[in-house]
């Protein structure tokens, strides 16, 4: 029997993304990455360190501090035959690139009757608790998820990050990937060295359980898994489902899980109000209504601008203790 | 003669658009290019078919001058399946890869990035293409434009920023919205800049050609201001305009500065064409335009089931 030798290493979330970008750039010379301090500096988070040595400054391109300006260049370059990755240092700067992302990139294929394509990736970050206050800490992935024409990716593990990022680069549509800043170094996991792609729109069951489903995104997958461990002690068997992409959305896997467990918490580091969790919760409410034994419940960032003081900031993000508390509440209902 | 034909084509096309609007045959609105024809024609005459343009809400002239066919243009304006965008874009979003038209844009200044990005790709992929970004002087109020001027000059991209200064930001004279000197904006970035009479198609062509050739040869971007005038209102429904500009001003441009009349007279003076030949061109194009319009009026609308197509590639 032939065995394929696959080297699997333990990589950090950030290194997995770097590997995805490097592999895609080796595979396709039309792929370039542009953003602020991406070359020698390797981004402010040092996620891309070393890429400029391999690919040069023509492909790892330092830009002026003009997020809208170079996002627009990404859109035009994509239309004219390239596959640019546009690096937006902080997801909070989504506000600055909105026109290029929402009115231009997302709509050009449709407005042109399907003639022009915009194969590009917007890299954004998300996540609080870096003590960076209200303009560098938000999780705004709900915004592009609202817009037809965009695909939105929120990876939670190094394995997923690599496979999903590569899928985004190869996709013919504008894809927006939200990378969790704290996860860059903190989250580590097995990543094959090989070239592999995870299709967009396929959820992943991160942990099987029978009593309650937690649908969790990005950083909240780790929190949900930690919470699930704590739940074992109180006799609650938690299933954790990661949709991995906000759109396309694997509604079936979410609904099937909740049909099995009959209870559901949706966890997301974005705001709950009018947010991703509201949409995911509604998908479950519509799809599994007759199977539910308790209301679908959200655990999200508090509805406040992210505060600076650690004492304040830490209270805004859901914790594993919150998971246990809410899971117990829902599981004791009859 | 080709530029003359192109200008007359645009004039006749736009007159029919106005007619379709007043006969309530056209959904929505349209922004007419009448009076500004020399700019699109002069510039596009200097471009290759595979060169890129981005256009504006006032974009029919650019699309036609770059080679779009009037029947499918009319069809798009009427929301028909046979239109350039299958009826999904309409007047403000005509796009056509076959003629390098990256699309008209309804966000003022919104296409500055797209044009600069296409120029970036042309340079990176070494295709020798040039991109022209058409925009009105209203876009001088948008921050994105200045980011793109900076990036284009910094990276020496083959892009021409063509500012069609028709004097009015919608219903407001540009002097009320624009501080300082227009060309000085480009100069501040160290960018080559020129200002031309936008009613003189030969001048637009001559200066445009030089800037385009220069960009193609790797000498970087340029900013070209064309002084022009919009004969009609901001859009077809903008009829009563005396509150923002006097009729005498409009009449002066129409009677003394008309780009088609001026170019026709020049051709006759220089024995390039006779009055009869020019009349013949006009008569011939009237037939073409009428036929194109009729064809579009009779073309079918898209089936409602098509609404979900083309959201994703």
B156 touching chain A per CB within 8 A: no
* Contacts B107 to A, Cβ<8 Å: 99, 103-104
A70 touching chain B per CB within 8 A: yes
Architecture of domain A204-331 in CATH? 3-Layer(aba) Sandwich (3.40)
- Distance between the two ends of chain B, CA-based, in angstroms? 41
Q: Do A69 and B151 touch (CB under 8 A)?
A: yes
User: Which residue ranges in chain B fall short of pLDDT 70?
Assistant: none
* Contacts B89 to A, Cβ<8 Å: 111-113
Whether the bond between A93 and the residue before it is cis, its omega within 30 degrees of 0, is: no
**What's the CA gap between B182 and B44, in Å, rounded?**
23
CB A298 within 8 A of CB A270: no
- Residue of A19, A36, A67, A239 with catalytic role: A67
Q: Do A104 and B105 touch (CB under 8 A)?
A: yes
B75 touching chain A per CB within 8 A: no
The residue of A39, A80, A150, A152 whose CB has the most chain B CBs within 10 angstroms, and thus the best one to mutate to test that interface, is A80
**What's the CA gap between B139 and B124, in Å, rounded?**
27
CB B62 within 8 A of CB B53: yes
Instruction: Please report the number of interchain residue pairs, chain A to chain B, with beta-carbon separation below 8 angstroms.
Output: 149
Distances (CA, A) of B166 to B5, B39, B171, B172, B241: 22, 11, 11, 11, 15
Closest by CA position to A74, among listed B101, B115, B150: B115
* Contacts B308 to A, Cβ<8 Å: none
CB A276 within 8 A of CB A217: yes
**What's the CA gap between A23 and A17, in Å, rounded?**
10
pLDDT value for A6: 82
Per-residue pLDDT of chain A (334 residues; tens, 9 = 90+): 455 668 999 999 999 999 999 999 999 999 999 999 999 999 999 999 999 999 999 999 999 999 999 999 999 999 999 999 999 999 999 999 999 999 999 999 999 999 999 999 999 999 999 999 999 999 999 999 999 999 999 999 999 999 999 999 999 999 999 999 999 999 999 999 999 999 999 999 999 999 999 999 999 999 999 999 999 999 999 999 999 999 999 999 999 999 999 999 999 999 999 999 999 999 999 999 999 999 999 999 999 999 999 999 999 999 999 999 999 999 986 5
DSSP A219-251: HHHHHHHHHHHHHHHTT--EEEEE--EEES--H
* Contacts B311 to A, Cβ<8 Å: 109-110, 148-149
Side-chain half-sphere exposure of B142, counting CA atoms within 13 A: 22
Residues B160/A150/A142/A275 CA torsion (nearest 10 deg): 130
A141 is catalytic: no
Pick the CATH number of A10-192 from 3.40.50.10860, 3.40.50.970, 3.40.50.300, 3.20.20.80: 3.40.50.970
A136 is catalytic: yes
B63, two tokens: 């699309």
pLDDT value for B207: 98
The residue of B73, B79, B93, B114 whose CB has the most chain A CBs within 10 angstroms, and thus the best one to mutate to test that interface, is B114
| Closest Cα in chain B to A103 | B107
Strand order in the sheet with B192-197: B101-104, B52-55, B131-136, B159-165, B222-227, B192-197
Interhelix angle B37-45/B2-22, rounded to 10 degrees, is 140
∠ Cα A28 A32 A37 (to 5°):
150
pLDDT value for B82: 98
Domain ranges of chain A: 10-192, 204-331
pLDDT value for B20: 95
Beta bridge partners of B161: B133, B223
B2-298 folds as Rossmann fold (3.40.50)
- Sign of the Cα torsion B124, B127, B129, B131 reads negative
How many of the other CB atoms lie within 10 Å of CB of A260? 15
Q: Which of residues 162-191 of A touch B (CB under 8 A)?
A: 172-173
Q: Do B311 and A116 touch (CB under 8 A)?
A: no
**What's the CA gap between B96 and A280, in Å, rounded?**
38
pLDDT value for A1: 47
Across the interface, of A70, A77, A173, the residue whose CB is closest to B313 is: A173
Please report which residue ranges of chain A form alpha helices under DSSP H: 13-27, 51-55, 67-79, 94-98, 106-111, 142-145, 158-170, 183-186, 219-233, 251-261, 276-287, 310-316, 320-331
Q: Do A66 and B120 touch (CB under 8 A)?
A: no
CB B66 within 8 A of CB B47: yes
**What's the CA gap between A74 and A94, in Å, rounded?**
15
* Contacts B84 to A, Cβ<8 Å: 112-113, 115
**What's the CA gap between B136 and B41, in Å, rounded?**
16
pLDDT in tens, B151-203: 999 999 999 999 999 999 999 999 999 999 999 999 999 999 999 999 999 99
**What's the CA gap between A297 and A287, in Å, rounded?**
15
Q: Do A77 and B110 touch (CB under 8 A)?
A: no
Q: Do B310 and A63 touch (CB under 8 A)?
A: no
| Closest Cα in chain A to B86 | A113
Please give, rounded to a whole number of angstroms, the shortest distance from the CA of B50 to a CA of chain A. Answer: 11
Across the interface, of A63, A69, A108, the residue whose CB is closest to B144 is: A69
A104 touching chain B per CB within 8 A: yes
Asked whether the whole model's pTM tops 0.90, one would answer: yes
CB A34 within 8 A of CB A89: no
List of long-range contacts for B231-235, beta carbons under 8 Å, 24+ apart = B231/B32, B231/B34, B231/B35, B232/B18, B232/B32, B232/B34, B232/B35, B234/B31, B234/B168, B234/B170, B234/B171, B235/B29, B235/B30, B235/B31, B235/B32
pLDDT value for A334: 54
CB A268 within 8 A of CB A140: no
Let me know if B154 is exposed, middle or buried by CB neighbors in 10 A (0-12, 13-18, 19+). Answer: middle
B100 touching chain A per CB within 8 A: no
Q: Do B151 and A80 touch (CB under 8 A)?
A: no
């Amino acid at each position: 029997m032939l065995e394929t030798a696959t080297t699997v290493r333990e990589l950090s979330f950030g290194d997995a993304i770097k590997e995805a970008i490097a592999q895609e750039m080796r595979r396709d010379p039309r792929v370039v990455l542009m953003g602020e301090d991406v070359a020698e500096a390797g981004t402010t988070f040092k996620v891309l360190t070393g890429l400029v040595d391999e690919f040069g400054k023509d492909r790892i391109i330092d830009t002026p501090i003009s997020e809208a300006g170079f996002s627009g260049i990404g859109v035009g370059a994509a239309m004219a035959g390239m596959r640019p990755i546009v690096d937006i240092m902080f997801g909070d700067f989504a506000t600055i690139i909105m026109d290029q992302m929402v009115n231009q990139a997302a709509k050009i294929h449709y407005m042109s009757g399907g003639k022009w394509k915009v194969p590009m990736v917007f890299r954004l970050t998300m996540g609080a608790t870096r003590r960076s206050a209200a303009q560098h800490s938000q999780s705004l992935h709900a915004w592009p998820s609202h817009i037809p024409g965009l695909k939105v990716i929120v990876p939670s593990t190094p394995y997923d990050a690599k496979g999903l990022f590569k899928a985004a680069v190869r996709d013919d549509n504008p894809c927006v990937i939200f990378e969790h800043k704290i996860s860059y170094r903190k989250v580590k996991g097995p990543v094959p060295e090989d070239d592999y792609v995870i299709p967009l729109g396929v959820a992943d069951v991160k942990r099987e359980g029978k009593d309650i489903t937690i649908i969790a995104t990005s950083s909240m997958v780790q929190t949900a898994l930690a919470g699930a461990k704590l739940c074992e002690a109180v006799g609650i068997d938690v299933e954790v489902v990661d949709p991995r992409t906000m759109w396309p959305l694997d509604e079936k896997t979410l609904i099937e899980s909740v049909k099995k467990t009959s209870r559901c918490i949706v966890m997301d580091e974005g705001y709950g109000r009018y947010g991703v969790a509201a949409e995911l919760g509604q998908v479950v409410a519509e799809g599994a209504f007759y199977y539910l034994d308790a209301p679908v419940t959200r655990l999200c960032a508090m509805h406040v601008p992210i505060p600076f003081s650690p004492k304040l900031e830490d209270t805004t993000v859901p914790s594993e203790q919150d998971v246990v508390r809410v899971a117990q509440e829902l599981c004791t209902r009859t | 003669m080709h530029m003359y034909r192109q200008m007359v084509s645009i004039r006749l096309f736009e007159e029919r658009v106005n007619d379709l609007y007043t006969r309530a045959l056209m959904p929505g609105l349209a922004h007419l290019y009448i009076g500004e024809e020399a700019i699109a024609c002069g510039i596009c005459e200097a471009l290759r078919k595979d060169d890129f343009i981005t256009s504006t809400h006032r974009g029919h002239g650019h699309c036609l001058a770059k080679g779009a066919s009037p029947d499918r243009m009319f069809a798009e304006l009427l929301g028909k399946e046979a239109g350039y965008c299958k009826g999904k874009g309409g007047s403000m979003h005509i796009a056509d890869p076959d003629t390098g038209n990256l699309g008209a844009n309804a966000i003022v200044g919104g296409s500055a990035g797209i044009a600069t990005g296409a120029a970036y790709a042309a340079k990176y992929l070494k295709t020798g293409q040039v991109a022209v970004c058409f925009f009105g002087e209203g876009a001088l109020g948008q921050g994105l434009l200045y980011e793109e001027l900076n990036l284009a000059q910094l990276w020496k991209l083959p892009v021409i920023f063509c500012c069609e200064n028709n004097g009015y930001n919608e219903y407001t004279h540009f002097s009320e919205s624009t501080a300082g000197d227009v060309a000085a904006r480009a100069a501040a970035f160290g960018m080559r800049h020129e200002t031309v009479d936008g009613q003189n198609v030969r001048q637009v062509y001559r200066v445009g050609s030089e800037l385009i050739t220069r960009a193609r040869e790797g000498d970087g971007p340029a900013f070209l201001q064309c002084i022009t005038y919009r004969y009609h209102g901001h859009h077809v429904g903008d009829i009563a305009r005396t509150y923002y500009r006097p009729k005498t001003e409009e009449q002066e441009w129409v009677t003394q500065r008309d780009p088609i009349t001026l170019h026709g007279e020049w051709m006759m003076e220089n024995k390039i064409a006779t009055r009869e030949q020019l009349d013949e061109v006009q008569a011939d194009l009237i037939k073409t335009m009428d036929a194109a319009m009729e064809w579009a009026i009779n073309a079918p609308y898209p089936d409602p089931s098509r609404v979900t197509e083309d959201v994703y590639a």
